[in-house]
């Protein structure tokens, strides 16, 4: 996952009062493929 997304996740966890801007900009083919790969690796068989 991109470090920018990890930074956003950490900020969201640690600073509940913070409001984020345009997350739509982060939706691109690379991030979607990275996310899909992560989900596939973490899935359980069965």
pLDDT at 44: 65
pLDDT at 30: 92
pLDDT in tens, 13-40: 898 887 777 778 888 999 899 989 888 8
Q: Could you state, in order of their start, the residue ranges of all structural domains in the chain?
A: 3-42
Residue 3 confidence (pLDDT) above 70: yes
User: Roughly how many angstroms between the first and final C-alpha of the chain, as a whole number?
Assistant: 26
For residues 21, 25, 30, 32, the Cα torsion angle rounded to the nearest 10 degrees is 70
Cα 43 from chain centre: 17
Specify the pTM. 0.43
Cα R_g (the chain), whole angstroms:
13
């Amino acid at each position: 996952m991109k470090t920018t997304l990890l930074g956003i996740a950490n900020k969201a966890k640690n600073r509940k009062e913070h409001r984020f801007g345009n997350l739509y900009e982060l939706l691109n083919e690379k991030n979607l493929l990275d996310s899909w790969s992560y989900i596939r690796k973490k899935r359980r068989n069965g």
